[in-house]
Amino acid sequence: MKRTHYCGELREAHAGQEVVLMGWVQRRRDHGGLIFVDLRDREGIVQVVFNPEQEPSAHELAGKMRPEHVIAVQGTVALRPPGTENPHLQTGRIEVWAKGAEILSEAKPPVFPIEDEIETAEDVRLTYRFLDLRRFPLQRNLRLRHRVYQVVRAFLDRHGFIEVETPVLTRSTPEGARDYLVPSRLYPGSFFALPQSPQLFKQLLMVSGLDRYFQIVKCFRDEDLRADRQPEFTQIDIEMSFIDREDILTLMEALIAELFEQAAGILLPRPFPRLSYTEAINRYGLDKPDLRFEMELKDLTDLLRGSGFRAVAEPLAVGGWAKGLNTKGCGGSSRSELDGLTDFVKGFGAKGLLWLKVTTNGLQSPVAKFFQPDVLHGIQGRLKGEEGDLLLVVAGEPIVVSEALGRLRVKLAQDLKLIPEGEYRPLWVIDFPLLEFNEQEGRWAAVHHPFTSPMDEDLPWLDADPEKVRAKAYDMVINGQEVGGGSIRIHRREVQSRVFERLGIGPAEAKAKFGFLLDALEYGAPPHGGIAFGLDRLVMILSGASSIRDVIAFPKTQRAQDLLTKAPAPVEPAQLRELHLKIAL
Partner RNA sequence: GGGGUCGUAGUUCAGCUUGGUUAGAACGCUGGCCUGUCAAGCCAGAGGUCGCCGGUUCAAAUCCGGUCGGCCCCGCCA
| Contact residues for RNA, defined by CB under 7 A | 27, 29-34, 36, 38, 47, 49, 51-53, 66-67, 80-81, 83-86, 88-89, 92, 95, 109, 111-113, 118-124, 126, 175-178, 196-197, 199, 221, 223-229, 347-348, 440, 445-450, 547, 549, 557-559, 561, 563
Q: How far is the CB of 114 from RNA (least distance, A)?
A: 11
Q: How far is the CB of 357 from RNA (least distance, A)?
A: 27
Q: How far is the CB of 399 from RNA (least distance, A)?
A: 10
For the chain, how many residues are written?
A: 585
DSSP 363: E
Tell me, rounded to whole angstroms, the distance of Cα 308 from its chain centroid: 45
**Cα distance between residue 262 and residue 152, in whole Å:** 10
Name the residue nearer to RNA (CB basis): 172 or 262: 172
Q: Please state whether beta strands 528-534 and 481-488 pair in parallel, antiparallel, or not at all (unpaired).
A: antiparallel
Q: Name which of 75, 78, 48 is nearest 62 in CA terms.
A: 48
Q: How far is the CB of 403 from RNA (least distance, A)?
A: 7
Name the residue nearer to RNA (CB basis): 155 or 348: 348
**Cα distance between residue 373 and residue 221, in whole Å:** 53
Burial of 511 (0-12, 13-18, 19+ CB in 10 A): middle
Name the residue nearer to RNA (CB basis): 216 or 313: 216
Burial of 165 (0-12, 13-18, 19+ CB in 10 A): exposed
**516 in Cβ contact with 203 (< 8 Å):** no
DSSP 564: T
Q: Which amino acid is at 21?
A: L
Name the residue nearer to RNA (CB basis): 202 or 298: 202
Q: How far is the CB of 424 from RNA (least distance, A)?
A: 20
Name the residue nearer to RNA (CB basis): 175 or 387: 175
Name the residue nearer to RNA (CB basis): 175 or 314: 175
Q: Where are the alpha helices (DSSP H) in 265-298?
A: 277-284
Name the residue nearer to RNA (CB basis): 18 or 223: 223
With the C-alpha atoms ordered 357, 361, 363, 366, is the resulting torsion angle positive or negative?
negative
Q: How far is the CB of 54 from RNA (least distance, A)?
A: 9
Q: Name which of 43, 64, 63, 74 is nearest 106 in CA terms.
A: 64
Q: How far is the CB of 181 from RNA (least distance, A)?
A: 16
**Cα distance between residue 147 and residue 152, in whole Å:** 8
Name the residue nearer to RNA (CB basis): 479 or 561: 561
Q: How far is the CB of 452 from RNA (least distance, A)?
A: 8
